[in-house]
């Protein structure tokens, strides 16, 4: 991900700076705690990793030309995962103690296993998640999570029910505050979409205690109640991982206003903020079970219903799907989701991201889409 | 092996007969323990994924792709998925559909432990056949070396839930004796299959990878007497060929390994190497269908099989796959390995680069990558394949000093 120069006066500036310096900050953080654990998917429960004394982070991609990673993975896999591998090959993740990857897509799981074979890490494991929700599934998930705790303790972590309770509270507070900030931004347009994305991206790579302080300050500084620019067409941006906010700038340049980020690096990672249950492990299980539907874990009909409801709630007049190229879970659901949106009178379009920047042709398509959605 | 074609036809004929007779027909993915339970209960299992290779072999896949792509399914999606979704949204019993098509499902089962496209196929099938009773199992996707008791316990509980579902929705009771018998037959089929494959260690190998269609019986008929009887006859035939030192080509000069699913639209491509005396004598994919079962505990055995099949050949357990390839290359005296970089199967393609390096580093065995797709011929270039294969064979022959 390329971190672009920001506006020093923007309330998002501290978040942009955190992103710019994440490598050095995390090297420092790794020395001050049990270590840093990476993941390519937020289904890995950050609070559980944190409760064991580690800083959990989401892996990021390397901007520019991919060279070395092509020697390890084929050209027809998710460009985000390929670029994460490129960043690792360039030494960008030297501070990592391990990777914990929930099995949510074939490529992330496979690339993590390729990673394991090419970089020495103390821990590299996957996490099996149930698709169904029921007493037996929850009991299984508890066992799976406790297995993860055992592995983290084996590489120097420490764990207690109290530490988990504290981590659950901390992450619950971060998620609920960030979700409320995103909701407010979506309804008022006080920040541009790319800057809004920066807030979420910083969450994934900043030690949570530091991040919460930043977030609380932001909440105080944000202008409240600013009316949205009604001349712009309100749209939802939906998809998988989005690293480069440049495409969001293009959406806005095309005359649209992003009211909701339905992304793995957006609202989907934040809702619900926490799970129910007195027992903290039970609340982690409950949160995983009740996550906002992600195509890798849910039925296409569920995704379609969620997006139609979000469009209604935010008054969106269009949905722009931004997918990483070759993203099977999202592509597989797309015909059903698009059909449901069209039935609801919400036009949609697909932009695939191949990691090589956005071409001018996309701007033309976005401008055309803005006209269609505005007239719908 | 000549019987294989009639065995394939008979399987599909039985699928249609079952439907006509009112015997419940269930659509399910392969690579799990559901098949033995189905046969033990007198139900008819149908494998939509397995029908895709049949469509590819009969040239019926391209129109199915057109249908699914017109519905909005991306060309970047797995070819099995695009084929079967195109098929079910077209004229399912049209004159061009191989084997008369598939009978519509009364039951739809997904097992959860496979790849994402396998899960998504069945989610879309549920929408296409809303009258079918649906069972979604939760088999964990976990690397072979990481399988723990809680994974097995959960898989066992899912098998029990599956059986309850079938009993409730078909009115048939599972007879434990019949299940025991099905598991015994399944294990015996695996034993015979392994034995048949092991004859390929002989030089010359009695049969090559173009006979991989043999797997059909391991996919569709596990747990039946049909499979055991067929494989017994194949074993006799292969043993005779080996005894007579009857090879695939007149002079077997090079022994090759094939990684990944073969191009179903033209298995003859696997014979291309034969013009230079090369024979594909082992492959990764066939091993996924032969997992020996603990016949003393049928339900647990089927649960373990369901946990193991997919990781065995996919990127879930790259380490184990690498070890398996290295072992096979040693055991089968392999001279070179052909890696099919398969756009329709990312889980098997991921990890190939590491396996290739390990082959060179640990055994000095060179490899070549062939770009292609096991279903979609549009992603395959014959000229490029031939150029790479020719250059590879030349290199191998030079190394062998012939």
Quick one: chain A helix, strand, coil %, rounded to 5?
A: 50, 15, 35
**Which CA distances in Å does B62 have to A132, B59, B65, B67, B82?**
35, 7, 5, 9, 10
Domain assignment present for A340: yes
Residues from chain B that touch A137, judged by Cβ atoms under 8 A, are 138, 154
Query: Can you give the pLDDT at residue A225?
Result: 63
Spell out which residues of chain A touch residue B353, defining contact as CB-CB under 8 Å: 71-73, 114
- Residues paired with B45 in a beta bridge: B26
Residue A353 lies in a domain: yes
Contact assignment for B350 to A336 by CB distance below 8 Å: no
Nearest neighbour of A76 by CB, restricted to B146, B343, B352: B343
Q: Report the distance separating Cα B402 and Cα B400, nearest Å.
A: 6
- Section B38-42 average pLDDT: 98
CB B306 within 8 A of CB B113: yes
Dihedral of the alpha carbons of B28, B31, B33, B39, in degrees to the nearest 10: 60
Instruction: Kindly tell me if the per-residue pLDDT of A290 is higher than 70.
Output: yes
Task: Enumerate residues 305 to 364 of chain A having a beta carbon within 8 A of any beta carbon in chain B.
Answer: 325-326, 328-329, 331-336, 338-339
Scan residues 74-103 of A and list those with Cβ closer than 8 Å to B. 74, 76-77, 103
pLDDT at A1: 59
Please name the residue of chain A whose CA is at the shortest distance from the CA of residue B110: A131
β pairing state of B133-136 and B336-342: unpaired
Domain range for A270: 224-375
Which residues of chain A are within 8 Å of residue B347 when distances are taken between CB atoms? Answer: 106, 110
Q: What is residue B282's predicted lDDT score, i.e. its pLDDT?
A: 95
Give burial (CB, 10 Å; 0-12/13-18/19+) of B168.
Answer: exposed
B 180-219: CB under 8 A from A: none
* Best to test chain A binding among B84, B112, B127, B143 (most A CBs inside 10 Å): B143
Q: Which residues of B207-234 are buried (b: 16+ CB within 10 A; e: fewer)?
A: bbbbbbbbbbbbbbbbbbebbbbbbeeb
Residue A278 in any domain: the answer is yes
Q: Is the model's pLDDT at A226 over the cut of 80?
A: no
For residue A44, being part of any structural domain is answered with no
Q: Which of A31-35, A38-42, A162-166, A356-360 has the lowest mean pLDDT?
A: A356-360
Q: How confident is the model at residue A202 (pLDDT cuts 50, 70, 90)?
A: very high
Look at phi and psi of residue B351 and say left if phi exceeds 0, alpha if psi is from -120 to 50, else beta.
left
Confidence check: pLDDT of B289 > 90? no
3-state secondary structure of A287: helix
Q: Do A106 and B142 touch (CB under 8 A)?
A: no
Q: How far is B155 from chain A (nearest CA, A)?
A: 10
Whether B304 shows a pLDDT value over 90: the answer reads: yes
In the structure, what pLDDT confidence band is assigned to residue B257 with cuts at 50, 70 and 90?
Answer: very high
Q: CATH number of the domain that A344 lies in?
A: 3.40.50.11900
How does pLDDT run across B134-170, given as a tens digit for each residue?
999 999 989 999 999 999 999 999 999 999 999 999 9
Q: pLDDT tens digit string along A233-249?
A: 999 999 999 999 999 99
What confidence category does residue A2 fall into, taking pLDDT thresholds of 50, 70 and 90?
low
Q: Is the residue at A145 inside a domain?
A: no
Nearest-by-Cβ selection for B138 from A110, A116, A137? A137
Interface of B with A in 273-332 (CB under 8 A): 314-319, 322
Integer Cα distance of B208 and B205 in angstroms: 7
Q: Are B136 and A338 an interchain contact pair (Cβ–Cβ within 8 Å)? A: no
Mean pLDDT of chain A: 93
Write down the pLDDT at residue B400: 86
B157/A136 CB distance under 8 A: yes
Listed in sequence order, the DSSP H helices in chain A are: 13-20, 22-32, 46-51, 79-89, 106-118, 135-154, 161-188, 193-203, 208-221, 246-253, 280-289, 300-314, 328-343, 360-375
pLDDT at A358 over 80: no
Task: Kindly report the nearest CA distance between residue B270 and chain A, in angstroms.
Answer: 22
pLDDT digits 0-9 by tens, B83-129? 999 999 999 999 999 999 999 999 999 988 889 999 999 999 999 99
pLDDT of A355 > 90? The answer is no
- State whether residue B350 sits within 8 Å of chain A by CB: yes
**Interface touch B346/A328, C-beta < 8 Å:** yes
* pLDDT at residue A359, as a whole number: 72
* Domains parsed from chain B with CATH numbers: 18-169 (3.40.50.11890)
Q: What percent of chain A has pLDDT over 90?
A: 83
Residue B58's pLDDT is 95
DSSP letters for B177-204: HHHHHHHHHHHHHHHHHHHHHHGGGSSS
**Chain centroid, CA B370 distance in Å:** 20
With a cut of 80, say whether residue B1 has pLDDT above it: no
Contact A131 B136 (CB under 8 A): yes
The stretch B365-394 carries a mean pLDDT of 97
Query: Which position has the higher pLDDT, B221 or A293?
Result: B221
Q: Which residue has the higher pLDDT, A223 or A112?
A: A112
Q: What is the pLDDT of residue A10?
A: 86
What is the tens place of the pLDDT at every residue in B108-118? 999 888 899 99
For residues A354-358, average pLDDT: 75
Chain A nearest CA to B330, separation (Å): 22
Q: Token digits for A241?
A: 């991982």
Higher-confidence residue of B388 and B288: namely: B388
Please list, residue by residue across B334-354, b when 16 or more beta carbons sit within 10 angstroms of its beta carbon and e when fewer do.
bbbbbbbbbbbbbbbbbbbbb
Q: Could you say which of B143, B316, B350 has the minimum Cβ distance to residue A73?
A: B350
Upper half-sphere CA count for residue B144 (Cβ side, 13 Å):
19
Mean pLDDT of chain B: 95
Number of structural domains (chain A) is 1
The verdict on residue A121 lying in a domain is no
pLDDT for position A343: 97
Tell me which chain B residues have a C-beta less than 8 angstroms from the C-beta of A118.
354
Residue A262 lies in a domain: yes
pLDDT digits (tens, 9 = 90+) for A174-199: 999 999 999 988 888 888 999 999 99
Please tell me the predicted confidence (pLDDT) of residue A3: 65
A117–B346: do the CB atoms touch at under 8 Å?
no
Judge whether B103 and A362 are in contact, CB under 8 Å: no
Asked, for residue A232, whether it belongs to a domain, the answer is yes
Chain A positions in Cβ-Cβ contact with residue B157 (cut-off 8 Å): 136
What is the residue whose two structure tokens read 């390995």?
Answer: B337
Interface of A with B in 152-211 (CB under 8 A): none
Q: What is the pLDDT of residues A305-338, one digit of tens each?
A: 999 999 999 999 999 999 999 999 999 999 999 9
Q: CB contact, 8 Å: B236 with chain A?
A: no
Q: Which of A331-345, B273-287, B330-344, B350-364 has the lowest mean pLDDT?
A: B273-287
- Contact (CB<8Å) B142/A105: no
On the question of pLDDT at B402 being above 70, the answer is: no
> Residue A8's pLDDT band (boundaries 50, 70, 90)?
confident
């Amino acid at each position: 991900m390329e971190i672009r120069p920001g506006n020093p006066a923007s309330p998002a500036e501290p978040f942009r700076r955190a992103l710019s310096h994440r490598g050095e900050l995390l090297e420092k953080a790794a020395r001050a705690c049990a270590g840093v654990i990476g993941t390519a998917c937020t289904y890995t429960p950050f609070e559980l990793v944190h409760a064991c004394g580690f800083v959990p982070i989401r892996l990021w991609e390397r901007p520019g030309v991919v060279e070395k990673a092509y020697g390890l993975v084929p050209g027809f896999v998710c460009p985000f995962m390929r670029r994460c591998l490129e960043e690792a090959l360039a030494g960008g993740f030297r501070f990592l103690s391990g990777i914990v990857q929930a099995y949510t897509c074939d490529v992330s799981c496979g690339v993590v296993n390729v990673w394991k074979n090419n970089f020495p890490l103390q821990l590299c494991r996957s996490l099996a998640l149930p698709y169904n929700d029921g007493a037996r599934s929850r009991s299984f998930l508890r066992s799976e999570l406790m297995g993860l705790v055992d592995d983290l303790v084996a590489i120097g972590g420490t764990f207690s029910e109290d530490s988990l309770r504290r981590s659950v509270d901390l992450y619950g507070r971060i998620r609920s505050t960030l979700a409320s900030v995103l909701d407010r931004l979506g309804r008022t347009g006080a920040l541009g979409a790319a800057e809004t994305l920066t807030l979420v991206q910083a969450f994934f790579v900043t030690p949570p205690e530091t991040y919460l302080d930043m977030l609380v300050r932001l909440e105080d500084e944000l202008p409240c109640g600013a009316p949205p620019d009604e001349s712009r067409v309100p749209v939802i941006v939906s998809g998988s991982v989005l690293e480069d906010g440049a495409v969001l700038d293009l959406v806005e340049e095309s005359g649209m206003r992003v009211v909701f980020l339905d992304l793995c690096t957006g609202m989907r990672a934040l809702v619900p903020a926490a799970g129910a249950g007195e027992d903290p492990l039970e609340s982690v299980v409950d949160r995983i079970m009740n996550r906002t539907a992600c195509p890798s874990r849910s039925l296409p009909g569920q995704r379609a219903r969620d997006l139609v409801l979000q469009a209604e709630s935010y008054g969106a007049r269009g949905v722009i799907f931004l997918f990483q190229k070759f993203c099977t879970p999202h592509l597989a659901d797309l015909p059903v989701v698009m059909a449901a949106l069209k039935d609801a009178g919400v036009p949609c379009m697909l932009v695939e991201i191949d990691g090589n920047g956005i071409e001018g042709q996309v701007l033309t398509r976005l401008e055309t889409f803005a006209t269609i959605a505005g007239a719908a | 092996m000549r019987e294989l074609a009639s065995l394939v036809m008979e399987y599909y004929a039985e699928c249609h007969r079952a439907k006509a007779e009112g015997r419940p027909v269930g659509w399910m993915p392969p690579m799990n323990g559901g098949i033995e339970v189905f046969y033990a209960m007198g139900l008819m299992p149908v494998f939509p994924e397995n029908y895709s290779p049949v469509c590819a072999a009969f040239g019926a896949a391209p129109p199915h792709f057109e249908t699914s792509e017109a519905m909005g399914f991306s060309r970047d999606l797995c070819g099995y998925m695009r084929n079967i979704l195109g098929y079910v949204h077209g004229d399912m019993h049209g004159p061009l559909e191989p084997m008369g098509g598939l009978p519509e499902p009364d039951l739809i089962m997904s097992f959860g432990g496979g790849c994402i496209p396998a899960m998504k196929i069945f989610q879309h099938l549920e929408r296409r056949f809303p009258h079918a009773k649906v069972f979604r199992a939760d088999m964990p996707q976990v690397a072979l070396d990481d399988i723990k008791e809680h994974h097995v316990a959960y898989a066992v509980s899912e098998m029990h839930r599956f059986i309850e579902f079938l009993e409730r929705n078909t009115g048939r009771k599972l007879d434990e004796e019949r299940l025991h018998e099905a598991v015994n037959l399944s294990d015996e089929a695996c034993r015979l299959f392994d034995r048949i494959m092991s004859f390929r260690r002989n030089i010359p190998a009695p049969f090559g990878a173009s006979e991989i269609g043999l797997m059909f019986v391991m996919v569709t008929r596990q747990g039946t007497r049909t499979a055991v009887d067929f494989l017994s006859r194949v074993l006799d035939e292969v043993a005779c060929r080996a005894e007579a030192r009857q090879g695939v080509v007149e002079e077997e000069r090079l022994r090759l390994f094939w990684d990944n699913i073969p191009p179903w639209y033209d298995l003859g491509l696997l014979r291309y190497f034969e013009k230079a005396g090369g024979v594909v004598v082992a492959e990764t994919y066939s091993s996924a269908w032969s997992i020996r079962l603990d016949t003393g505990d049928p339900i647990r055995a089927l649960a373990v099989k369901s946990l193991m099949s997919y990781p065995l050949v996919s990127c879930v357990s790259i380490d184990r796959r690498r070890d398996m390839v290295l072992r096979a290359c040693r055991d089968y005296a392999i001279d070179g390995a052909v890696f099919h970089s398969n756009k329709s199967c990312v889980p098997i393609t991921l990890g190939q680069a590491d396996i290739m390096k390990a082959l060179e580093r640990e055994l000095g065995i060179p490899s070549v990558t062939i770009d292609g797709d096991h279903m979609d011929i549009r992603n395959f270039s014959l000229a490029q394949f031939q150029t790479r294969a020719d250059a590879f064979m030349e290199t191998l022959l030079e190394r062998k000093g012939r």
